[in-house]
């Protein structure tokens, strides 16, 4: 009887060890899959900033260099515009690249905290940049009216271009925030599923 009990206990220990190994293996696989999903989703955000840096910025610089060369804007306004555009792009890139290494090396809790911080920093950036764009647009209209014969036409194009740029920026911002929300939900769901399995 005692031998049967000992054999039964050994069998239970082995089954428990197998179950533990399976759970750990499943957790590792799920984490790897989630990290792959995170990298894929964040690549689209990074691509937006690469396009902005390598295509958007040169276009802005060339356009306002042309305005400056034609005497439609002052040197101060031209330099300020370029600096603001470069600064805004670099800040966006820094915010969105801040967590890339942590997703590969740190635990999912740290990755989640990083995603939340990215959302908060992006929101602060948007709160600062929208009034700046409105102020900049107002100064651009004043610059054009001060120095150009085609002031009305140029300022109309400026307002349309500014509103279009603002719209694109807001759409990109919302997409980035949604991406972070989706990833945070997926991390929370994975943690919940794993904790449910452990309690079973």
Tens-place pLDDT, residues 130-161: 899 889 888 888 888 887 667 777 778 777 88
pLDDT of residue 58: 93
Give which of 166, 163, 177 is closest to 45, Cα–Cα.
177
pLDDT higher at 135 or 50 = 135
Give which of 86, 89, 41, 67 is closest to 139, Cα–Cα.
67
Instruction: Point out the least confidently predicted range of 63-77, 100-114, 123-137.
Output: 100-114
Strand, helix or coil for residue 125: helix
pLDDT of residue 124: 93
Tens-place pLDDT, residues 158-185: 778 878 888 888 888 999 899 889 888 8
Residues 161 and 156: their CA atoms lie apart, in Å, by 8
- Tell me which DSSP letter residue 148 carries: -
pLDDT of residue 80: 94
The model scores a pTM over 0.75: no
CB-CB contact of 45 with 94 (8 Å): no
Q: What is the chain's mean pLDDT, rounded?
A: 78
DSSP 87-109: HHHHHHHHHHHTTHHHHHHS-HH
CB-CB contact of 132 with 165 (8 Å): no
pLDDT of residue 149: 67
């Amino acid at each position: 009887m005692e031998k049967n009990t000992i054999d039964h206990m050994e069998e239970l220990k082995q089954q428990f060890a197998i179950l533990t190994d399976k759970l750990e293996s499943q957790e590792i696989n799920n984490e790897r899959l989630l990290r792959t999903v995170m990298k894929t989703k964040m690549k689209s955000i990074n691509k937006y900033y690469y396009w902005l840096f390598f295509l958007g910025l040169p276009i802005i610089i060339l356009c306002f260099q042309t305005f400056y060369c034609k005497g439609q804007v002052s040197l101060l306004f031209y330099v300020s515009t370029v600096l603001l555009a470069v600064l805004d792009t670099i800040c966006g890139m820094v915010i969105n690249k801040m967590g890339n290494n942590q997703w590969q090396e740190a635990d999912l809790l740290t990755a989640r905290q990083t995603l939340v911080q990215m959302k908060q920093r992006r929101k602060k950036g948007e709160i600062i940049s929208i009034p700046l764009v409105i102020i900049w647009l107002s100064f651009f209209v004043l610059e054009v009216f001060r120095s150009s014969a085609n002031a009305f036409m140029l300022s109309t194009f400026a307002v349309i271009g500014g509103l279009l740029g603002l719209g694109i920026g807001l759409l990109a911002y919302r997409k980035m925030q949604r991406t972070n929300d989706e990833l945070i939900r997926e991390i929370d769901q994975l943690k919940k599923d794993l904790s449910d399995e452990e309690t079973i």
